[in-house]
Structure 1
Amino acid sequence: MAQTHILGYPRIGARRELKRAQEAYWKGEIDQQALLAAGSQVRSQNWQAQQAAGLALTTVGDFAWYDQVLNHSLMFGVIPERFNTGAADNKLDQYFRLARGRAPSGDAVAASAMTKWFDTNYHYLVPEFSTGQDFTLDSEWLLAEVKEAQQLGHNVKPVIIGPLTYLWLGRGVDNALDLLPGLLPCYQQLLAQLANAAAQWVQIDEPILGLDLPAEWRDAFALAYEVLAKASGSKLLLATYFSPLRENLELASGLPVDGIHIDAVRAADEVDLVASALTGNKVLSVGVVNGRNVWRTDLARWQRQLQPLAKQLGDRLWLSASCSLLHSPVDLDTESALPDAQKQKLAYSRQKLEELKALQAALLPDAALLPLADTTESRPQSEILAELANTWRAQKYTERADIQRERWKLPLLPTTTIGSFPQTDVLRQVRKQFREGEISAQDYNDHLRAEIAEAIRRQEILGLDVLVHGEAERNDMVEYFGEQLDGFIHTGNGWVQSYGSRCVKPPIIAGDISRPQAMTVQWSEYAQSLTKKPVKGMLTGPVTILNWSFPREDIPRAESCLQIARALRQEVQDLEAAGIGIIQIDEPALREGLPLRASEHQEYFDWAVGCFRYTCSEVQPETQIHTHMCYSNFNSIMDAIVALDADVITIESARSDLRLLKAFAGEGEGYPNEIGPGIYDIHSPNVPERKELVYRVYQLLDVIPLEKLWINPDCGLKTRNWAEVGSSLLNMVEAARTVRAEVA
C-alpha cells in the first residue's frame, strides 16, 4: 500500500521549549549542557510523533539551533573570514556568532545576512561565498542525530539541502555555479557517510526546480546528480516544493534518483504528469497535506484523485505534506481555549501526520469513499481587480512633497524608528494578567498609557525628529490586527518559527473581514497629545496581514486582501481625522507573497499594490504616508515598490552591507520618493558605534539625494532591550546630526 513520510517537522517544541532554552543560554541563565538536553528532547518528541502516526520513515536532520541553511554552511566550511578573528570557544557558540553576531563566548562581529526562504515568512542565513571558495566537510552533527534517532528505534531518512539549491541561496561571487565542482566532493563524502550509517533513504531538497532557472543551472542538474548517484549507497529522494515544476518537470523526473517529491498542493495538475514521466521503479511522493496552512485536508478529494495511482504504484506511492511542516504550528491539542467547532476544522503538524495515516487507509483497495466537502463560490478575480483599478492619490508625489515639507519643517536627514519599542517582561506579564482576567481593562489601559508616555519621553531625550508611540498594546504586528478585525480565529499556541528563536502566531482568516471599531486611534491620539513633534500612526498593511495570516482556501487571496484593505482605509481616515498627519502602513511581506514564477507576477502586483494604495487613496496631500519593507531582493520588484506611491519607504539593509541600495539607485534619478535604508541591524544585540554610523550615512548619500534620505534602524525594536535601544538610537541620532552639520 501507499507509504507515508514527511519532509520535515517544526523544531520549536510544542510549547516553544527550544526558544526558551536558546534565549536562556544566550543570557547565561543555563549552560550548554542544558541547552543540548533541551534540543535532544525536542528531537525525540518530533521523532516519536512521526513513529506514532505510522510513518514509514522518520525524518532526521531537519533540526537546527537557528537555521537549516546555516547548518549546511558550517557543514561545508562556508565561514566568512571575519568570524575567524575572536572565534568562540566551541562549535555551538561559533554557530551562534554567525547567526546573531554574538554568543556566550567569542568576540562580537557583524552577523550573517538574512533573507526570506522562497515565498515564506521564514528567514534563512545567507551563505557568503568567496572567490576560490574552499569547501570542507564536517558532518558530525548530522551523523550524531542519525545515530541518536536509530538508538531510539527509528527508521531514519536524513534530509539535506541539495548542492544546486545551496549554491543558489548564497552570495559573494559573480556566478555561484562556478563553485559546484568544488562542492560536489563534499556531497559525495556526505552521502557515503550516511550510507555507512545505515540510512536506507536520503532526502535531497532542491526547491529551485520550481523556479525560472537559467539554462546553465538547469544543465548543471544532470551532471551533479550523475556524480551523486554514483557516490550514494543510499536511495535518493529528490524533494521539490513551493511551486509547480513546469518546464523543469522532465528534467527532474529524469534525474538518476530513486524517487521524487512534488508539492501537489501548489501543483495538483502535475501529479499524473510526473507519474507518467518516472522511469523504472522510482518512488513518487505527493505532498497532498498543506504544510503551510492550518485547515484540515480535503481527504475525499485526494482519495478520488490518487486511487488510480495507488493501484498502479502500490508502495512506490508515498503520501506526504507539501513541504516541511516547519511552517505550521506544532500540536492542536495544546489549544485549550479554541471552541470545538473551530478545532474540528483545523490541523496543526501533529494532526497532519494523522491525516496522512487516514489517507493511507482510504487508499486501500476495499476502503469506502469519503464524503465530499461543500465548496464555497467566490466572485471572479476580474471583479476584484476592477475595483482596485483607480486607487492613486489625487496629487502626484512631487506635489505632495512640497506641501508636506511646508507642514512638517523637518531637518535634513530626519531621524525616526520603524515603530515598535522593547516589549519588557513587565509589559508581557501585565498583558498576560489582563488576558487571564487578573486585572481590569482600566488597569491594563492605564499601564499601556504609562508605557506610551515613557516611550515618548525617551524619544524626546534622544532627539528623534519623528516619533512613534511604541506599540505597547500590540502582541504582534499582525496578530494584534487579527484580534481587532471580524473574520479571524485567534489561537493561544499556534506558533511558527520566523527566524532563530523568534516565533510568530499567525491569526487564521476564517470568514469575511470587517472592522467593528477603531483599532489604533486612541493610542496614537494619546501619544500625539504628549509632544509637539509629529507621532506616526502605525498600521500593518493589507498584503502583510494576509501573507502573515493563515488564509482561507475557499476564496482567492486577492478577495481577502481587499476586505482587509477596506477595513484599514477606515482606520487611516479615522487617524487623519484625529490629527495624525504621518501614517506608516507597513508592507514587509509584499515581496514574500510574490509567486515564484515570473509569469504570475503581474497579476499578483495588480491586486497587492492596488490594495495598499486603496488604504490611503483618500487622504489629504499634506498627510505623509510611510511604508516599511523587510529583507528582500528588491531588484525584481522595484516597479511595484514605486507603484505603492508611498511618500517615504524604509527598508532593511544593514545586514546586506547596504547592497540592497543598488536597486534604489537605479538609472537616472533612481527611486523617486523619499527613503530610509536601515543603518544598523536590530536583529543583533550589538550596539553600533557612532563612527560606523556616520560612515554608513555617507555611503547612503552616494546613491540617495540628501533631501530624500531618512535615517532609521533596520526594523522595529520590539525584540531588543532598552539598554541596547537607547545606546543605538543615541548613536544614530548623533551620526545624523554630525553629517547634517557637515553637509549643510
Structure 2
Amino acid sequence: MIYETTVIGYPYIGEQRQWKKTVESFWKGMIDEQTLHAQLKEQRLENVKRQYALGVETITTGDFTYYDRMLDLATAFNLIPKRYAEVEKGISTYYAMARGTKDVVASEMTKWFNTNYHYIVPEYEGQRLRLQSHRYIEYIDEALQLGVTPKPTFIGPYTFFTLTKGIQKEQEAAFLLDLIHVYTELLQQVAQTGVTWIQLEEPAFTTTLNDEQQQLIQALYTQICEQVDTKIFVTTYFEACSAYDVISQLPIDGLGLDFVHGKKENIENLRKHGFPEEKVLGVGIVNGRDIWAANLAQCVTDVRAIEQLVQPTHVWLQTSCSLQHVPVSAMHETKLPQFLQPSLAFADEKIRELVAIRQTLDGTEQTTNILAESLQQQQVLLGHKSRHNEHVAEALRTLQPAHYTRDIPFEKRQALQIEALQLPDFPTTTIGSFPQSTAVKQNRAKWRKQAISNSEYEAFIEEEMKRWITIQEEIGLDVLVHGEFERTDMVEFFGEKLDGFAFTQNGWVVSYGSRCVKPPIIYGDVAWVSPMTVNEIKYAQQYTQKHVKGMLTGPVTILNWSFVRDDIPREVVAQQIALALRKEIASLEDANVQIIQVDEPALREGLPLRKEQHADYLRWSVDAFKLATSGVAATTQIHTHMCYCEFNDFLAPITALDADVISLETSRSHGELIDVLATDAYPYGIGLGVYDIHSPRVPSVEEMLTIATDSLHVIPRQNFWVNPDCGLKTRGEQETIAALSHMVEVAQQLRQRVTVQ
C-alpha cells in the first residue's frame, strides 16, 4: 500500500491576513499593479514552503486567488458580461466584476454550497467561451522552482456549469461544447508543464444527481479526459458522492471522497460497488471545515477499514475539503482556556494530523504516543465542567409547543402594529450597521490594549451613535438604528456576552473577497447572562422621536457562523442559542423597544446538499427562530434579514419564520426573486434591497426607483419596505450618506405616486 499526504486547498489569506492587506492597498491606490503581483507571489511562495515544511508531499497550486476562484475561471474563459466592455482590460475588469465601479454594477455573489464563503457567479450572455490569459502556469512554475511536486487544482467542469447563470435551455448544447473546449485547452497547457496530476474539484457531485445529469457528467469527462495527457484526480467534498457507481467509473485516474461529512454513505458505496484498483483513492479523513483536533486513532481505524473494503493500491490521505474554511495556525492562540487549547486544530495542525496518520499507517515512525496524546486531549474537553449547564438543560426539557408560536396571526398583528408604530407608506430603514471609520477601529484597538479606559471608550461609542442618529434624521429615514459601532462582528459580539463561547486572537477565515471573519468557538452549553444590547438602544433612542430598532443576530446564524462543538446535535445548540436570545428580546421589550430585528443571513447556508435531508434541517432551524421570537407582544414588530442565497426554492421556509418584516439581499439578482414572488405571494412585510452595499458605487435615484417599481408589481403597498440590501459597516461615510439620501428620495416619490393615484 502506498500512502501520500495532500490537501485539497490551503488558506490563501495568510496567517496575519497579508493577502487582505495587499489587495485592499491596491484597491485604494496605495500600491500599483506590479507591486500587487509581487506581494501576492511572495505570499503564494510562503504558502507552498509552509505546507512542504509540514510534510505535505504533493502541494496543491491554483488554490490561490486574487479575489475568487470561480471568478478566476470565468475571466479565463471569457465569461465577461457586456457591461464591462468599457472597463480597462485585465485586472481592472477582474475587480470590476468582483466589486463593481461607480458606473457598472458588480456580478452576483452567493454562498459556496453550504458554507459561509461567497463566490462570484459566472454570467453567460451567449458569448463564445475562449481561453484567455491566466496565471495557472505561473503558479505551477513557482512550485517547480522550489523543488516541490505541484498538483494544480481547478473547479471542475460540471460544478462550473451548474453554477453559471444565464444559460437558456436552447443554449446549453453550445455552451457545453465551448466549455469542453476551454477546459481541454487549459488542461493541455497545464499538462505541458510536466505535472503528473491535475485536480478537479466537483462538490456538485455530492448534490442529488438525476439520470440526465449523470449522463452529462459522463459526456464531459469522456471528452475532456481523452484529450488531456496527464492524470486527472477528481475530488468531492461537503457530502457523500452521489451516483457513486457512475462517478467511480469515469475515465479519470483518481477519486477523492469525503469520509467526514459523507462517511456512512461513502463507505456503503465502497462496500456495494467496490473501487477501481487502477485508480488512486483520496480519503478525506481530517475535517477541513471545523477547528477540532481529530481523534487520530479513530482516523487510522477508519482508513484501515476502508482498505479492507476495497484494497486500493494507492491512497491519498487528505482533508475532507479545502482548508480555506479554517484559520491558518493555532500556534499563536495564547489566550484561550487551557482545557480548550489542546483540542484545536487549524490548517497547519490538520496537516500535522494527516502526516501523523500516514506515519502510523505506513509504520515509518513510532506513533503510539501521538495517538494516545490525541485521545487524552479530547477527553479533557469532553469532561470539563464548563461544558455543561444544568439550568440550560432544564429549560430545554420544559419547552412546550406554545413557546414556538405568536399569540395571534400576522394579519391581526399587522393591523395592531400599523396603529402602534405610525409609520408612513414605504417606510425606509437600514439593515443595522453603519460605516466603522478609522477612528472607530483605532479606539476599539486602544480599548482592547487598555490604552484607554472603559468609560473613555463608551463615551466615544455614545458620541458616534448620537452623531449617526442625527445623520439618519437629516437623511429622512423612518426607522433608525444605533449603528453597531460597539460590535466587531455580528456573531462575535453576542458570543462574548453569552456563556459557552470562546474566542481566538487570530482565527480569521475568508467570507467573500477580502472580507475576513473570526468565527467564535462554541464549546459548551450556551446561556444568557445579562442584557447584551439594551443600553446602546436606550442611549440612541433618547436622541430621536422615531423608532430605533433592536438589533440581534439569529440563533441559526450564530450557529452557522461559529465553529460548533461536535459532541451534541447542532439542533440542540440552536435551541440553546434561541433560549438565550428569547431572554434578550424580552429585555428589549421591557426597555420599550417596539421594533426588534433578528437577522438570519446564514439560515440557508446550513441547508444540506441533498434534497431528501432538507426537511429536517428546515424544521429545527425555523423552530429555533420562532423559539427566539415568539414571546413578544402582538404590537412588537419582529424583523429579520437574509443574505445572498438562492431564494427561488426557499420561500416556504422564509414564510414559516412568521417574521413581521423581512429584508432580503437581492440587488445583484433582483429580477429572479420578483419572478418568484409573482408566482408565490409572500404574505408578510418585505424589503427587497434596492442597492448593493458590497460595491463602492452610489446608485442613482432612477436605478433604485426601477427596482422598487418592479417590486411593487408583486408586493402589496402596505407590505413594502425600502432598504439597502445589507449592513453598511464596510462602506465609507460619504458614499453611505449619498446612497441613503437617494433611497429616501425613492420612498418619497413612491408616496407621491400613491397620493396622486
TM-score per shorter chain, which class? over 0.9
- 1:364-375 maps to which residues of 2 (within 5 A)? 364-365=362-363, 370-371=371-372, 372=375, 374=379
Deviation at 1:657, TM superposition (A): 3.5
* 1:694 equivalent in structure 2: 705
* 1:307 equivalent in structure 2: 304
* 1:292 equivalent in structure 2: 289
**Do the aligned partners of 1:271 and 1:286 also contact (CA within 8 Å) in 2?**
no
* 2:16 equivalent in structure 1: 15
AA matched with 2:124: F
* 1:320 equivalent in structure 2: 318
2:148 is matched with which residue: 154, 179, 189? 154
- 1:373-392 maps to which residues of 2 (within 5 A)? 374=379, 387=399, 389-390=401-402, 391-392=404-405
Deviation at 1:642, TM superposition (A): 0.6
1:487 and 2:500 matched: yes
* 1:140 equivalent in structure 2: 134
Unmatched tracts of structure 2, length 5 or more: none
- 1:339-738 maps to which residues of 2 (within 5 A)? 339-365=337-363, 370-371=371-372, 372=375, 374=379, 387=399, 389-390=401-402, 391-667=404-680, 670-738=681-749
**Secondary structure of 1:363's partner?**
helix
AA matched with 2:138: A
Q: Is the deviation greater in 114-123 or in 25-34?
A: 25-34
**Do the aligned partners of 1:385 and 1:607 also contact (CA within 8 Å) in 2?**
no
* 1:205 equivalent in structure 2: 201
What does the per-residue CA deviation read over 1:565-587, in whole Å, with 9 as the maximum and x for residues that have no partner?
A: 01000000000010100000000
Deviation at 1:140, TM superposition (A): 3.0
What does the per-residue CA deviation read over 1:110-165, in whole Å, with 9 as the maximum and x for residues that have no partner?
A: 1100000000010000010123x411012531111111221122210000111111
**Secondary structure of 1:514's partner?**
strand
Deviation at 1:364, TM superposition (A): 2.4
AA matched with 2:355: K
* 2:87 equivalent in structure 1: 87
AA matched with 2:276: T
AA matched with 1:77: N
**Do the aligned partners of 2:396 and 2:576 also contact (CA within 8 Å) in 1?**
no
* 1:181 equivalent in structure 2: 177
> What is the TM-score of this pair, normalised by structure 1?
0.95
* 2:250 equivalent in structure 1: 255
**Do the aligned partners of 2:641 and 2:663 also contact (CA within 8 Å) in 1?**
yes
AA matched with 2:23: Q
Q: Distance in 2 between matches of 1:597 and 1:325?
A: 22
What does the per-residue CA deviation read over 1:365-402, in whole Å, with 9 as the maximum and x for residues that have no partner?
A: 586653455468999x9x97994744110110000000
**Do the aligned partners of 1:585 and 1:626 also contact (CA within 8 Å) in 2?**
yes
Q: 1:188–1:603: structure 2 CA closer, same or farther, 3 Å change rule?
A: same
RMSD: 2.0
Q: Distance in 2 between matches of 1:251 and 1:573?
A: 54
Q: Distance in 2 between matches of 1:443 and 1:471?
A: 17
**Secondary structure of 2:351's partner?**
helix
Deviation at 1:192, TM superposition (A): 1.2
Q: Distance in 1 between matches of 2:658 and 2:253?
A: 50
AA matched with 1:157: K
Q: Distance in 1 between matches of 2:135 and 2:604?
A: 34
What does the per-residue CA deviation read over 1:668-706, in whole Å, with 9 as the maximum and x for residues that have no partner?
A: xx0000100000000000001112122221111111111
* 1:60 equivalent in structure 2: 61
What does the per-residue CA deviation read over 1:33-92, in whole Å, with 9 as the maximum and x for residues that have no partner?
A: 2211221122111111211122121100011111000000011110011111x222x411
What does the per-residue CA deviation read over 1:394-431, in whole Å, with 9 as the maximum and x for residues that have no partner?
A: 11000000000001111111000000000111101111
* 2:217 equivalent in structure 1: 221
Q: 1:308–1:649: structure 2 CA closer, same or farther, 3 Å change rule?
A: closer
Deviation at 1:302, TM superposition (A): 1.1
**Secondary structure of 2:638's partner?**
strand
Unmatched tracts of structure 1, length 5 or more: none
**Secondary structure of 1:332's partner?**
coil
Q: Distance in 1 between matches of 2:513 and 2:396?
A: 38
Q: Is the deviation greater in 567-576 or in 324-333?
A: 324-333
**Secondary structure of 2:29's partner?**
coil
**Secondary structure of 2:604's partner?**
coil
**Do the aligned partners of 1:331 and 1:351 also contact (CA within 8 Å) in 2?**
yes
What does the per-residue CA deviation read over 1:616-639, in whole Å, with 9 as the maximum and x for residues that have no partner?
A: 111000000000000111122211
What does the per-residue CA deviation read over 1:233-267, in whole Å, with 9 as the maximum and x for residues that have no partner?
A: 11111111111124x11111111111101111111
Q: Distance in 2 between matches of 1:227 and 1:278?
A: 22
Deviation at 1:665, TM superposition (A): 3.2
AA matched with 1:135: L
AA matched with 1:52: A
Deviation at 1:13, TM superposition (A): 0.9
1:121 is matched with which residue: 104, 116, 121? 116
**Do the aligned partners of 1:98 and 1:112 also contact (CA within 8 Å) in 2?**
yes
Q: Is the deviation greater in 300-309 or in 355-364?
A: 300-309
**Do the aligned partners of 1:647 and 1:673 also contact (CA within 8 Å) in 2?**
yes
AA matched with 1:209: F
Deviation at 1:272, TM superposition (A): 3.7
Deviation at 1:743, TM superposition (A): 2.1
Deviation at 1:355, TM superposition (A): 0.8
**Do the aligned partners of 1:200 and 1:235 also contact (CA within 8 Å) in 2?**
yes
**Secondary structure of 2:57's partner?**
coil
**Do the aligned partners of 1:163 and 1:180 also contact (CA within 8 Å) in 2?**
no
Sequence identity percentage: 43
Q: 1:253–1:623: structure 2 CA closer, same or farther, 3 Å change rule?
A: same
Q: Distance in 1 between matches of 2:234 and 2:336?
A: 38
1:240 and 2:241 matched: no
**Secondary structure of 1:476's partner?**
coil
Q: Distance in 2 between matches of 1:356 and 1:274?
A: 24
**Secondary structure of 1:302's partner?**
helix
**Do the aligned partners of 1:673 and 1:708 also contact (CA within 8 Å) in 2?**
yes
1:170 and 2:183 matched: no
